[in-house]
Amino acid sequence: MDGWRMKYFPVLADFVRNGGHGSRTQSEQLRIELCCRPAAEILEHHEESVKLLLSNAEPEDRLTFVHRSLLFITELLLSLRSADSAATRENAEAEQLLLRANVVHSVSIEDERSSKFETVLQQMDSGVALFDGAGTLRFLNVQMSRLLQVPRKSLIGGTLFELLFHPSLPLNVRKHILRAVKEMKRSRRFQGEFQDASGRVLLVSISQSEELDGDYLVSVKDVSEYKQIEQAAFQNDKLAMLGKIAAAIAHEIRNPLTSIRGFIQLLNPYLAEIGKQEYGRIILSEIDRANDIIYEFLNSSKPTAPMKQKVIVSLLLKETILLSESEALMKGIEIRHEIFDPFLTVAIDAKQIKQVLLNIINNAMDAIADTDDNRKGNIAITSRKEGKYALISIKDNGKGMMRSTLNRLFDPFFTTKEEGTGLGLSVSYRIISNHGGTIHVDSQLNEGTEFLIYLPCVEGKE
């Protein structure tokens, strides 16, 4: 592509965006390159550039863009002619009239076509952008503008450099764009995933093809939901594998442990005689700890269906809090309870759900105990109806978690505690899933963590 053609669209777009007052330096450079070009060639390229400009404009801005583009080409043509030549001036005015007719006709054709093709592009759930070889932005759909958090009208015709340093562009988005550009320069193609500040996972693809005359096509798609489905499937696969392992080893380990425990108890009198009774106590406590681990291991893989009955959520929470209050008082932690719907009812296995709630509350107390600033511990428990679900929230002001920890929170055997088994939350995830519910976690480092448990509501109360 000729150099003047590469420069024409950015200069025109800058002129139109700025209300008919573009960069004088860029306009002057363009005039120098166009001084020997036939008017018909300039008019033809101008018409193509106007079509491209209108394809990126909002409907209410199109007429304004047409008028400003006419002003641009009029000034350009007049500046390319000798001011003293009346005949040339007449020719330029005739060309302007011809151009006006062509552009108006193009606008009507553009409006007719955009009702189908452009609407499809604008309504896609993927963000789409097109850059030419010089890095000038030639097309941008609405979804891409939303993902960048920058208005469309301030970008079209601008360069990649101008986009990177746009005042509305978030810093984390700028970092991702720079990374993608570096990878693109190295391998001539890029595809990767980014996570933005709000936690969304974005799939970014950049490609250059001959069909686009060497232009770069950039597409961005929000794949957060697909990632959640993939993670849930992966979690279920791990739990299924865990169940097979548990079924194979449970009896093989517990039976010999029972025998060892019995013989140690028989040897206790002898150990007491020789002053080694402490050894016996340690062995018995370690055997009991091993049995506890096996018990949790078995529970994490039990496929048994919950024995459901109708339960009022407020009563379930009060019973659970009673079981935790004494330990919380000893640790100086206050448990606050707020009910928004006193008759909110769910069909659950009360023992299993109570196990989940106690596990999360105990984790909250541990997180508060691990803080370094001696803050007053608070655990807020609330319940309310949200759509078809009963939402139970357990929020603490403990040490919080990093995102890397959050991503593995429900993995079997993953734990951040020195004496933890890493099975408690894995069991909780399985129990909530078996009840047709979901469990989500939101956490900020050094601020606290909130567990959100969704259980299907039912009518009636018992």
What digits encode the pLDDT tens for the residues 394-427? Answer: 999 988 888 878 888 887 777 777 666 677 788 8
> Residue 437 falls within a domain, yes or no?
yes
Whether residue 461 has pLDDT greater than 50: no
CA distances from 363 to 236, 243, 268, 350, 375 (A): 23, 24, 36, 20, 17
> Residue 227 falls within a domain, yes or no?
no
- Pairing state between β 190-195 and 201-208: antiparallel
377 and 323 both lie in a single domain = yes
> Residue 193 falls within a domain, yes or no?
yes
> Residue 230 falls within a domain, yes or no?
no
CA dihedral 62, 67, 69, 71 (to 10 degrees): -170
> Residue 359 falls within a domain, yes or no?
yes
Average pLDDT over the chain reads 78
pLDDT in tens, 167-221: 888 887 788 788 877 777 777 777 777 777 667 788 888 887 666 677 788 888 8
153 and 262 both lie in a single domain = no
- Determine the residue type at 452: L
Minimum mean pLDDT range among 18-32, 162-176, 278-292, 445-459: 18-32
Domain termination residue (choose one: 192, 222, 252): 222
Q: What is the mean pLDDT of residues 316-341?
A: 89
pTM of the model: 0.44
CA angle 273-279-280, nearest 5°? 75
318 and 380 both lie in a single domain = yes
Percent of the chain with pLDDT strictly greater than 70: 79
Q: In what order do the strands lie in the sheet with 126-131?
A: 137-140, 126-131, 216-222, 201-208, 190-195
Query: 């949200």: which residue's tokens?
Result: 386
335 and 246 both lie in a single domain = no
> Residue 31 falls within a domain, yes or no?
yes
295 and 315 both lie in a single domain = no
329 and 426 both lie in a single domain = yes
Residue 287: pLDDT band (50, 70, 90) is: confident
Residue 36: pLDDT band (50, 70, 90) is: confident
* Separation between Cα atoms, residue 360 and residue 353, nearest integer Å: 11
316 and 297 both lie in a single domain = no
Whether residue 88 has pLDDT greater than 70: no
CATH number of the domain bearing residue 421: 3.30.565.10
Domain termination residue (choose one: 115, 147, 164): 115
Give me the residues paired with residue 110 across strands.
Answer: none
> Residue 461 falls within a domain, yes or no?
no
Domain termination residue (choose one: 167, 189, 222): 222
26 and 102 both lie in a single domain = yes
- Structurally, the chain folds into a number of domains equal to 4
CATH number of the domain bearing residue 200: 3.30.450.20
- Give the closest residue to 239 by CA, choosing from 382, 1, 14, 432: 432
273 and 315 both lie in a single domain = no
- Give the closest residue to 360 by CA, choosing from 424, 446, 430, 434: 424
285 and 338 both lie in a single domain = no
> Residue 229 falls within a domain, yes or no?
no
110 and 126 both lie in a single domain = no
- The reported pLDDT for the residue numbered 223 is 82
pLDDT in tens, 108-167: 445 544 445 566 666 677 888 888 877 788 788 888 888 888 887 777 777 778 788 888
* CB atoms near residue 15 (< 10 Å): 23
Q: Are 194 and 204 in contact (CB under 8 A)?
A: yes
Ramachandran assignment for 372, one of left (phi > 0), alpha (psi -120 to 50 degrees), beta (any other): alpha
Q: Residue 203: which domain range?
A: 122-222
Residue with the larger pLDDT of the pair 25 and 331: 331
Give the phi and the psi of residue 365 in degrees, each rounded to 5: -65, -40
359 and 445 both lie in a single domain = yes
Whether residue 271 has pLDDT greater than 50: yes
* Chain-centroid distance, C-alpha 363: 26
